[in-house]
Amino acid sequence: MEQLEYLAGEFDFGAAIQILLVALLFNAVLSLIRGTQADQLLRGLLVVAVGLFVIGRVLQLELINWILDQGLLVATFALIVVFQPELRRLLERVGRTGTLVAHPFGLVTPEQTQQMIGAVVGSAEELSARLWGALIVVQRQGGLDEFASTGTRLEASLSRNLLVTVFHPGSELHDGAILVNGTEVVAAHVMLPLSDELGPQDHVGTRHRAGLGITEATDAVAVIISEETGGISMAMDGRLERHLTPDQLRRRLETAFRVQTRGAGLQGLPAWISRSR
């Protein structure tokens, strides 16, 4: 009871703010790793840490207790190395929030965004019908210049015909990805990092792994067309959604780029302001 009274006496508004900030930080980290390999790895680390703590305290093993007491710095560096992709994704989201505050209406107009979505959805539908494999990566807040340098610069106006032509099986540029920024096709035949989250049991090829990989490393959106089944998939924020219809793809792109439909809300406003549903 004395300890509870002491804790109650020490608890004040400042302590409540600190607890809230720590809770928000943990929630942000956990939301990033949920459903990934890091999720299982973190569970394993927690089991090992709890097991060592119980064994060290119950059996009074001095070496294990010393490791637990003195190993905080080492554990911190180890966690940074292990969870580097997730931490990078978290910092990029923080950076994108700063960009959103500086440019609340974005760098691309709502009309250009609608034009881009129409071209991507139209080409995806046609490529799916023809069973032509494709990988279209659309830039959001984060830049993609480091990936564009691995391909062939086009810097051409975006259109449905251009996307379909590039992914023609006889085209020299059909392998790799196309990078789109607004209404411009920046580059084609682009090489992307492959995701480790998909295994043989997922029955997907290199295009899907590359599409998911770019969304793990950046905030871009990837649209993938399977050359085997013609299935349409979309990857965003390290998540892959498969077997989409053109209408479903359009709705998801409109959500990703915060495009308001049916006259609801103001176009271009941040999602937390403009989204009412």
Q: Detail the DSSP E strand segments found in 158-251.
A: 177-181, 184-190, 221-225, 232-236, 239-244
Does pLDDT of 113 surpass 60? yes
Higher pLDDT, 246 or 109: 246
Higher pLDDT, 56 or 150: 150
pTM score of the predicted model: 0.62
Of 214, 221, 212, the residue nearest 181 (C-alpha): 221
Identity of the amino acid at 248: Q
In the prediction, which pLDDT does 273 show?
A: 35
Whether 231 contacts 243, CB under 8 Å: yes
Reported as a single tens digit per residue, the pLDDT across 212-265 is 999 988 889 999 999 999 999 999 988 999 999 999 999 999 999 886 444 433
If you count them, how many residues does the chain have? 277
Average pLDDT of the residues in 265-276: 38
In the prediction, which pLDDT does 270 show?
A: 41
Q: Which residues contact residue 21 at a Cβ distance below 8 angstroms, ignoring those fewer than 6 apart? A: none
Whether 233 contacts 226, CB under 8 Å: yes
Is residue 49 very low, low, confident or very high in pLDDT (cuts 50, 70, 90)? confident
Whether 190 contacts 210, CB under 8 Å: no
In the prediction, which pLDDT does 234 show?
A: 97
Is residue 74 very low, low, confident or very high in pLDDT (cuts 50, 70, 90)? low
Say how far apart CA 264 and CA 177 lie, in whole Å. 34
Does pLDDT of 129 surpass 60? yes
